[in-house]
Every structure is written in C-alpha cells, then in structure tokens.
Amino acid sequence: MIKFGYFCSMFIENNLPNSRRRGWIEVITGSMFSGKTEELIRRLRRAEIAHQKVEIFKPSIDKRYSANEVVSHDENTIRSTMVDHSATILLFSGDVDVVGIDEAQFFDPGLQEVCITLANMGVRVIVAGLDMDFKGEPFGPIPGIMACAEYVSKVHAICMRCGNLAQFSHRFSDVGNLVLLGERAAYEPLCRECYYDQTQQKG
C-alpha cells in the first residue's frame, strides 16, 4: 500500500507550475456561530472577483443545508464539493489558485499534510473550522494546521449568557457522539466564565 506521504510528494512533482508561485495556509477558527464560514465565503468570493481559479471542499458528513454548497448560518452560499477523505482534495485541486476547506474539524488527520502539500505547490489554502469541541478540547486536525499556517484568524461569537466575547461551544446535552452537527437548538456560544459555570453545574 502506498503511504500517504509518498502520494503527496508524487502529486507535487507532477503538478509543479513552470514558474514558482507562492502558496500559503490561512486558518479561520473559533466557536460555533462566530462567522467562520461567512469569512471563508467572503475571502473566496474576493478571489473569484480577482479571476482566480477557486475550488471549495467540505466533508461528506456535512449535509445540513446543501450537498453541493457551503452555507453559512446567515444563509450565504458558495458552490462546493463534498469529499469523504482529505486525500481526495488533491485529486480535484489540479491547476487551481485557491482552495477553500470548510468544517475542517470533521476531516481525517491527513488534512494537515494535504494543506501543506497544496501550499508547497503554490496554492493559497483557506481552512475554516472549530478549534475546540464541546468539551473544550482541541478538535480534529485544526490545531495541527494552525501550527503550520502562515495566518490564523480567531473569530468570536457573542456569549449568550452575558454578552461578552465567546470562544467556547457549549452543547446543551453532553450525551451522544463527539460529532453533532451544529444547530442553534443544540449549541450556544459562551465566554470562558459562563462556559466554566455550565461545565461545573454538569459536573
């Protein structure tokens, strides 16, 4: 079986542009309802206005609003491709200028190497996703991608209990799987103090 790292290196060799382009990685992260997808769409729209070739991907698990679009909570949309595994992103990213990845926390650990591979090819990679799960712990591949990214934007929601800036995603019930697609009926954004108060009450 071919190792994933070998696949990435072969992909780079077969897709290097004639003139070296500068690629990089951007991460947009924060809690639920903080505007991550909204900001991702804004950056991708600007790239399209600049006549750059853009491809957008999201995990196949995310079918909340649309199968072929990324949709923000404010109902802004942009076309996208659903994929089951991060390696598939490379197969659809030939001859592109910008790659957008939404709900990146739901991807497999290989997403970090995919992002690095694309950036090394000269592609601008924009990743959006939760940095913490509802338990307040690092979520999926996001922390690793943040570590190797050139730019990290941490956006904030408004705490639903006190009105301060919120960076935690509080799930009303901690029963069930780690993965529970976000809706306002299931989650609320909280600041550190209010999140701590809620977790202490459950404890």
Catalytic annotation, residues: 103
* Cβ(166)–Cβ(189) below 8 Å: yes
Give dist(CA 40, CA 21) in Å, integer.
22
Bridging pattern class, strands 98-101 and 124-130: parallel
* Cβ(107)–Cβ(140) below 8 Å: yes
Give the residue from 143, 156, 48 showing the smallest Cα distance to 97: 48
Q: Find residue 187's DSSP bridge partners.
A: 171
Helix, strand, or coil (residue 52) = coil
Bridging pattern class, strands 187-190 and 168-171: antiparallel
CA torsion angle 107 113 115 121 (round to 10): -150
* φ, ψ for residue 179, nearest 5 deg: -90, 115
